[in-house]
Amino acid sequence: MKNSQVAITVKNMSKDFIICGDKANTLKEKIIRFGNNNKEVRHILKNINLEIKKGETVALIGVNGSGKSTLLKLLTKIIYPTSGSVKVNGKLVSLLELGAGFHPDFSGRENIYFNASIFGLTKSEIDQRLNDIINFSELQDFIDTPVRTYSSGMYMRLAFSVAINVDADIILIDEILAVGDQKFQEKCMNKMLELKKSGKTMVFVSHSKAAVEFLCDRAVWLNDGKIQKDGPTKKVMEEYIKVCG
């Protein structure tokens, strides 16, 4: 496949984390532990190979601890692989943690400018999109109050509203749409469907079978840090549910 048709390429990629045990605080503990290696290596992702075409909407599924969120963080370059490579072709925006990039003492309006500038928009570009962001978030009555006063649902509204208005080629979303009321969740899903139809590439982590089947044509099932199955959403979900319930 030509590189121009590929949005994301992951080749032979593994990610390890080193977990350090409790520090020895007393002389006795230091003597007892002398010579012992107090570190544990955890292999979170193991030799992952994945290619996502431009315009695809792909779900990452798997039980907690299977490596889904770690893979998203690697794609957005919050962290880097222990081995192998991750290549992204296009402007990328990620919604991985509620309020990431928000300053708690800034108002919602100030955080729109702050957050959108991190995603690469100029002030004039943000000015042009400001009303669309505020209107989609439905936070008109709170937009000039500090975000530290916001509920988790309000955080999600603002973060999602900024992300969908920065005109990115690739959108990464991690389970945050589970936060907030049902009506706004449905509004977000419909907006994501609209973005999908416009040709955006999306990678979506969710435990919701309904959301995955509504939005995604393809699912990648991660199990114990490896790709267990990669294929059409319905088929992969059926196998996943048989094994994991």
Q: Which of 149, 168, 187 is the last residue of a domain?
A: 168
Same domain, 84 and 110: no
Dihedral angle of Cα 165, 217, 65, 83, to the nearest 10 degrees: -80
Q: Which of 116, 137, 168 is the last residue of a domain?
A: 168
Q: pLDDT tens for residues 10-41?
A: 999 999 998 765 665 666 665 665 556 667 88
Do the strands 39-53 and 6-20 form a parallel or antiparallel pair, or are they unpaired? Answer: antiparallel
- The secondary structure element, H or E, covering residue 50 is strand 39-53
Q: What is the pTM of this model?
A: 0.85
Same domain, 228 and 125: no
Whether residue 96 lies inside any domain: the answer is no
Average pLDDT over residues 89-105: 83
Same domain, 44 and 147: no
Whether residue 206 lies inside any domain: the answer is yes
Q: 164 is in which domain, residue-wise?
A: 104-168
Same domain, 160 and 182: no
Q: In what order do the strands lie in the sheet with 92-95?
A: 92-95, 170-174, 201-205, 57-61, 218-223, 226-232
Whether residue 50 lies inside any domain: the answer is yes
Do the strands 6-20 and 83-88 form a parallel or antiparallel pair, or are they unpaired? Answer: antiparallel
Q: pLDDT tens for residues 34-66?
A: 556 667 888 899 999 999 999 999 999 999 989
- The secondary structure element, H or E, covering residue 201 is strand 201-205
Residue 99 has pLDDT above 80, yes or no: no
Same domain, 60 and 24: yes
